[in-house]
Structures are given as structure tokens and as C-alpha cells.
Structure 1
Amino acid sequence: MLPSLDVLRLPTTRILLTTETFTSRVLPPVACYFVTAFLVLLPRTQPVRIALWPITAILAFRAATSLDMSMGQPKLAFWNIDLQVNSYYIRIDCHIIELISQLSMVCIAARTFEWTVQTKPFIRVAHRSSTDAPKRNLVLDTIDLACNLRGCGWDWSQGLYVPPETHSTSSRLAFAKSILVSCLKHLFLCGAIHSAVQSFSLDTFGSVDGGTIFDDSLPPHLRYLRSSIIATMCAFGIYSVLQAGYELTVVMCVLLFRQHPDQCPPSFDSPWRATSLREFWSRRWHQWFRRIFIFLGGKPLSLLFGRIGGVIGTFLASGFFHHLALLAIDPSSEMWRMLLPFGMMGTGVVVERAVAGNKTGGWMGWVWTMSWLVLWGNVMVDGWARAGMLGGSSVLDSATPVRQPIEWLVRTFDEYLHTC
């Protein structure tokens, strides 16, 4: 008897995540993902990869659009974003690997497509703490490749910037303790910022119903001052939650899996210190999806329009990626709300290079960079707010000990703006 083909049938409604649905909907694309990772390490396997990719893409799309991670609670709808695009990181064995916590289906489809068109096998290289070439082990190499988004320790990550370590690496225990303190700090900061942002408008963008961050009852200068404060706080909130998630897994990897601190490089490099847009996006912000954006957007447009097309295409791919994230919460989200701000980030990088070359820096460069980021960050965050992303619930909200004072301060400030 032939096996059932129901697994390939696209869904029309979302169902709750259970053990059964996890086995039938999540595991199949993940299995295809790891099989493709194994095949791309071997020569003369491209025909098999070509045949496997459409199945992988259909299964990934099916999982991303059929499962409801919110357990029926609207305030937890943002968990569906994790299923589609977000990931945290765990390191196993001797080199950095990144284990997808919520099984990012968009990443699975995109990465397996890149591996499908790859003609030569990928090769591992020595990490920073070793000068010896890594020993070949197909099983461990497959796990590493499948979970390593940045490409640390692989020949395909050329041009990747790895931030310098700022924590003590004298011993694993000292390093883990320092990272844990930083993790707790970022968790607290994330909870505090989330409470503050929601307090600006609990009935609109502070709720799951969503709403704009632009208050039409205020004059233009105060309206954009208020929205810029909200956008800036959201940026620090995103930075804090990503840092906390990454640092938590670093602690586990160093203590449980006996990783060397050099195998857990930082993801961020003080983004607020950037003195050019190019420095911000290519060095100081995280590079987790760099390879995907370049492959899907940068390379195709660079073939048509050269370097400028490569830059714009990379940012447009990022915008589309973030639009898919919003669809997990609000299927009616408009694509331009993500494509426009990310496209303008690429435009800013192009204009910056044309005007100043590689000489952008100093306080003028910092003012230029932050002004451009805040300007288009307003549009970006407004798109998130309208989709109801800022109204999501988190365990950090109730755990933040200064939540009530923060809410009082924000409401007092907001009332002051409306009385000016």
C-alpha cells in the first residue's frame, strides 16, 4: 500500500500545536532540511537536492501557515512569528551551531534552496581558538551546517564580521557567570521597555487590536517626537530580547556542552555607537540572516544593477522577511510598510557611500546614522504596531518589578505632551 500523501496537502485553517501535529507537520520539513544539509557536504548530489527541494518548500510552507502557536490566546499570537522566522542559538560539539527553537520554516525553505543550487560541497574551517583544520565528521558537520545561520567556521561565510568578545574568557565558569549577569540585565531591560511602550496607548497599539504610533491629536512636531521615542524604545527592546535569548544559550553551551568561549562570539557590537549606516547594518547589528538576505535579494539584483542593486536587493529581502513575520499576526498587513523602510535603509547606504565614500564617521556620521534610522524606524515600528505586535503578552511583563512606576512615568509624560 502506498503511503498517504495528505502530508503534502496545503491547509486552509490553523490548528493548535500538539504532539501529534508537531510530528506530522513540523518534523517532515525539518527532516528534509537535515537531509539536504547532509547532501550539500557531498560531491555530485545536486540532482537529488533539486528533486528534494520542492517537497521541502511545500512542507515548510504548510507548517508555517497551518500551526497556531498561540494556544488560542490572541496575546500570544507573536509566537507564530517564531515558527516562521525567529531562532535562538545553542552550540554543540566543537564549533558554533545554532539550534532553531521554534523551527523557522522560512529559513528552512530559503536555506535549502541555496544549498540546492550550490555546485561544490561546503567546507568547514578552523574557528578562532584553533589553528588546526577541523576533523571531518559528516554527522556533526551536518548538524553544524543546519543550525549555523551566520556561518562561523564555514567557507561560505566570507566577509562576515564577528564582534570582539567583551566578557572575561579566563575560564568557562567566569565567562558563563559574566554572560548570565548580562542576560539577566537584558531580560529586565526588555520587560521594562515593553511595559513602557504599551503604556503609551493601552487601547490601540498597546493591545492586540493594534493601532498607529502617530497621534493625530498632537501637532506635527510633538507627534513625531512621541513616535520617535516609541520607535527608539522598540529598537532597544528588540536588541535586549535578542541579546538575552542568545546569552542564555551561550551559558548553557559553555557549562553543559563544554564549549570554549571563543566558540560563542557576540552577536551585537554596540549598535548605538555606529557612525555610518553601513557600519550599523554590516557590523554592529546582528548578522544572523545576512546570508539569506544576500542570497535571496542581493545576488539577483546585483546581476541586473551591479553593486547598488546588490545593496538594495539585500535590504528588500530583509523587508519581505519582516513582512512574512507580520503575516503570522495580521494576515491583512500591507507589504509596503516593511519594504519601504528597509528599502530606504539600503538607499541610505548607497547615498552615504556616494557622498562620503568610506570617510563617514565622527559625531556628524553618528547624527546622520541615528537620524536616518529613527526616520524610517518610525515607519517600520508603525507597521508592527498596526499589526498588533506591540500588544503581545510576555512573562517578562509581570516579572518586571518596576512596571507600575514605569507605566506612571510614561502616562505622565504622554499627558504632558497633550497639554503642551
Structure 2
Amino acid sequence: MLSFPDGLRLPTARVPLTTATFVSGVLPPVVCGFATAFLVLLSRTQPVRIVLWPITAILAFRAATSLDVSMGQPKYNFLNTQLQVSSRRTRINCYSVELILQQTMFFIAARTLEWTLQTKPFIRMARRSSKQNSVLDMFDLIFSVRGCGWDWSQGLYIPPETHPTSSRLAFAASTLVSGLKHLFLCGAIHSAVQSFSPETFGSVDGGTIFDQSLPPHLRYLRSSIIATLCAFCIYSGLQTCYELTVIPCVLLLRQHPDQWPPSFDSPWRSTSLRDFWSRRWHQWLRRLFIFFGGRPLSLLFGRVGGVIGAFLVSGFFHHLALSAIAPSSEMWRMVLPFGMMGVGMIIERAVAGNQTGGWMGWIWTMCWMVLWGNVMVDGWARAGMFGGSTILDSTMPLRQPIERLVRTFDEYLHA
């Protein structure tokens, strides 16, 4: 009777992350990912990639389900999300020691599947040197999740640069200031969200953002404020991760500033859903969603299927993130609101074509985002996502004034 080698056996329980489990659990799928990235740059390697992918997928699933990154502390359960699935994929340098912590197992399995099905080699079109180097191209392919400078990133929008590029030092200094600003904002907003209900969704136990003791209009006003704060908290957190990663890569690894274009373009200024999702919000996972959802459903249902498919995959991806924290979380709480983003884009195109804009377009966009954002954020809140700690939880000087302000406002709503 055939049996899996020990290294491919699926785990029955999580084990703590140690040096030994890192080497035996995390490193093998990462090595397979590197190998696949190198092979997809070469001609006539698809048969080898086809053989390699099932091994990569099993090893990635094994690592994602066997390691406990929380180290036995429930308050840090949210760290498991970084190993299993993470929407904080940034373009990091090949020499960064943070690679394995940031590279998710799901992302490895998903990207290597795309590389396995690729029939022609990928081509790096933009490079700092005219000399081709397959090893450097392999690293750039792995860490450039947006695909800047690659032939497979057709249609990618790159936001205009907001930092000075006259020198690496000026660019890094400006980026550092921005990163610290967003770090502070993330901590402040996170404290505000927790202060609305520290015993329920502000704790690791989780709870709904909809307060049934309030009348409907005040209930949804309160939940909409919480959802909006969460959106800015996520934005600030992603900006912090990206910008603080830029600094050592530009100063120590001598990368050029144009290798680190901005990820966001003032999403609060969006005047259409299409503007928000295809231009102003980050595009780190754009390729993943198009490959797994947009492209297959577009073959069946045309453009409408492509739009809906991409958002459905996005919802499933975010559900996986929640399941790392709360395995009993319901999939529809992520799939429905993300799917409705696709429906909103279809309605938008049917009613206004490509002419959506101005203040009416802004109102439409924000109302639709807040409406379904309530459902999305409620799913996160029920999973206890907002109960996790941040770097600034105990050190931020404004924490207590923020808590008092939020409590005063909440008491006013309940008066």
C-alpha cells in the first residue's frame, strides 16, 4: 500500500514555530516556490513544473496548518494570518530576512500554480541593467507581486510618486516620515475601534458591530462609523508595512526609488467603484484574483463573469484569512460583500458607462462601500480580529484620550 513520505504527511495538530519546525515545515515549500519561479523563466520547462506543483501545494498546506505562530498566546492569534494568507503582500527584496515570515503558504501554492500553467517564459521588460540575469529575475518575479516591469502585468495602474526621487537618501527620509505617520494613525484608529466595545468585538472573543439596543438609524450610523474607521486602519497598516520595507531596500540594497512605486492613490477620493478598485486601492493581489476568478468566469460569462469572478476569489481569499483566526467563521460574510463590489461595478457601468465621476460619483461610491463594508467588517469583528495587539497599544500617549472620546460618543448615542 502506497503512503506519503513523512515530509508530505498532513499534520493532526499545530506545533510551535521553532528553528527546527521552520526548517522542516516552512523552508521546503519556499524552496519549491523559488525553483518554480526560476523554471518559468526558461523555455520548455512546463513538464517539470507540472510534476513539482503538487509537491509544492502539499508542503504549503502542511506548513499552513501545522505551525502555531501565536506561541500559545491567544492575543497574538492574528499572526497566524501572516503565515496562512495575508493581504499585506509587498514587493520586498530578495535578501530580506523577513521573506519567509511575510510569504504566505497559500500565496506560494497559488502563484506556483499560475507559473505551472504558463506555457511561455515570463519576460522582464524593465531592468536597471541591459544584462540579463536569470537569478535576479527569479527574485524579482517572486517579490514583485504587482508585476511592475513584467510582460504579465498588462493594465496595471501605477500611482504617481509622492516622495522626492532626487536621491536615495531624500526618498528614504520622506518614506520614513510617511511610514511613521501611518504607523501612528494605525495604532490610534485601532484603539478607537476597540474602545467602541472592548468586551465584545474589541476583544479576542469577538462580537458584532451592530448594537441591537439602538434604534435602526443609530445602529447603522454607529456600525458605519466603525466600518469607516476600520477601512482607514487597514489602509494605514498596509502603508506602514510597505513604506518601512522600502527604506532598507533603497539605502542598504541600493535599489532605485522607481522600483518602489506607491501602492495607494488616495482611495477616499474615488469617484467610482472602478476607480477605487482598479486604481486607488492597492493592486498587490490583482493578478491572483484575475487568474483564479476573473479569467475562468470571463470565458463562461464574458466581461460580467470576469468582474464577478475576481471579486468572489477576493472574498474567498479574505475568508481564508479569517479562518486562520476563527475556523468556524462563515464564508458568506466575506464572499457576499466582495461579490457585491463586482455587482456594484456592473450596475455602475450599465447606468453611467465610463462617465461616473464628480461629487455624485463620489457619493455613490462611498455609500456602496460603506453599505457592504458594514457586512465585511462585521465578519472580521465576529472573528475577534480587532482584539489583537498592535505595537502602539501600550505606548501611544493619545490612547486614553481616544478611549474617553469614543466612550463619550457611544454614551451619547445610547442616551
TM-score normalised by L of structure 2 = 0.96
Give the counterpart letter for 1:402 in structure 2. L
Q: Aligned residue for 1:115?
A: 115
State the Cα RMSD in Å: 1.7
Give the counterpart letter for 2:41 in structure 1. L
Q: Is the CA contact (8 Å cut-off) linking 2:26 and 2:100 kept in structure 1?
A: no
Pairing 1:89–2:90 present: yes
Q: Aligned residue for 1:144?
A: 140
Q: Aligned residue for 2:352?
A: 356
Q: Is the CA contact (8 Å cut-off) linking 1:250 and 1:264 kept in structure 2?
A: yes
Q: Aligned residue for 1:287?
A: 283
Per-residue CA deviation, residues 44-65 of structure 1 (Å, 9 max, x unaligned), is 1111111111110111111111
- Structure 2: unaligned runs, 5 residues or longer: none
Q: Is the CA contact (8 Å cut-off) linking 1:90 and 1:253 kept in structure 2?
A: no
Q: Aligned residue for 2:251?
A: 255
Q: Is the CA contact (8 Å cut-off) linking 1:163 and 1:265 kept in structure 2?
A: yes
How many angstroms apart in 2 are the aligned matches of 1:159 and 1:337?
A: 30
Q: Is the CA contact (8 Å cut-off) linking 2:145 and 2:284 kept in structure 1?
A: yes
Q: Is the CA contact (8 Å cut-off) linking 1:91 and 1:257 kept in structure 2?
A: no
How many angstroms apart in 1 are the aligned matches of 2:213 and 2:89?
A: 40
Q: Aligned residue for 2:154?
A: 158
Q: Aligned residue for 1:211?
A: 207
Residue 326 (structure 1) shift: 0.3
How many angstroms apart in 2 are the aligned matches of 1:376 and 1:350?
A: 15
Match for residue 402 of structure 1 among 389, 398, 403: 398
How many angstroms apart in 1 are the aligned matches of 2:62 and 2:309?
A: 27
Pairing 1:331–2:327 present: yes
Q: Aligned residue for 1:49?
A: 49
Q: Is the CA contact (8 Å cut-off) linking 1:173 and 1:255 kept in structure 2?
A: yes
Give the counterpart letter for 2:207 in structure 1. G
> Which aligned pairs between 1:62-141 and structure 2 lie closer than 5 A?
62-86=62-86, 87-89=88-90, 91-92=92-93, 99=99, 101-126=101-126, 134-141=130-137
Q: Is the CA contact (8 Å cut-off) linking 2:93 and 2:143 kept in structure 1?
A: no
Per-residue CA deviation, residues 72-94 of structure 1 (Å, 9 max, x unaligned), is 1111001011001224535448x
Q: Is the CA contact (8 Å cut-off) linking 2:89 and 2:145 kept in structure 1?
A: no
Count of residues in correspondence between the two structures: 411
Per-residue CA deviation, residues 98-149 of structure 1 (Å, 9 max, x unaligned), is 946433011101000000110000000126xx6x7x4211111111111111
Give the counterpart letter for 2:281 in structure 1. W
Q: Is the CA contact (8 Å cut-off) linking 1:315 and 1:345 kept in structure 2?
A: yes
Q: Aligned residue for 1:32?
A: 32
Q: Is the CA contact (8 Å cut-off) linking 2:91 and 2:145 kept in structure 1?
A: no
Match for residue 377 of structure 2 among 375, 381, 384: 381
Pairing 1:13–2:13 present: yes
Per-residue CA deviation, residues 189-241 of structure 1 (Å, 9 max, x unaligned), is 00000000000001100000000000000000000000000000000000001
Q: Aligned residue for 1:172?
A: 168
Match for residue 319 of structure 1 among 287, 307, 315: 315
How many angstroms apart in 2 are the aligned matches of 1:368 and 1:151?
A: 31
Pairing 1:298–2:294 present: yes
Residue 176 (structure 1) shift: 0.8
How many angstroms apart in 2 are the aligned matches of 1:88 and 1:171?
A: 26
Pairing 1:192–2:193 present: no
Q: Is the CA contact (8 Å cut-off) linking 1:91 and 1:259 kept in structure 2?
A: no
- Structure 1: unaligned runs, 5 residues or longer: none
How many angstroms apart in 1 are the aligned matches of 2:354 and 2:91?
A: 36
Pairing 1:239–2:235 present: yes
How many angstroms apart in 1 are the aligned matches of 2:85 and 2:174?
A: 29
Q: Is the CA contact (8 Å cut-off) linking 2:250 and 2:257 kept in structure 1?
A: yes
Change (3 A) 1:386 1:50: same
User: What SS does the corresponding residue of 2:236 show, helix, strand or coil?
Assistant: helix
Q: Is the CA contact (8 Å cut-off) linking 2:298 and 2:306 kept in structure 1?
A: yes
How many angstroms apart in 1 are the aligned matches of 2:281 and 2:67?
A: 30
TM-score normalised by L of structure 1 = 0.95
How many angstroms apart in 2 are the aligned matches of 1:347 and 1:89?
A: 28
Q: Is the CA contact (8 Å cut-off) linking 2:90 and 2:284 kept in structure 1?
A: no
Q: Is the CA contact (8 Å cut-off) linking 1:88 and 1:100 kept in structure 2?
A: no
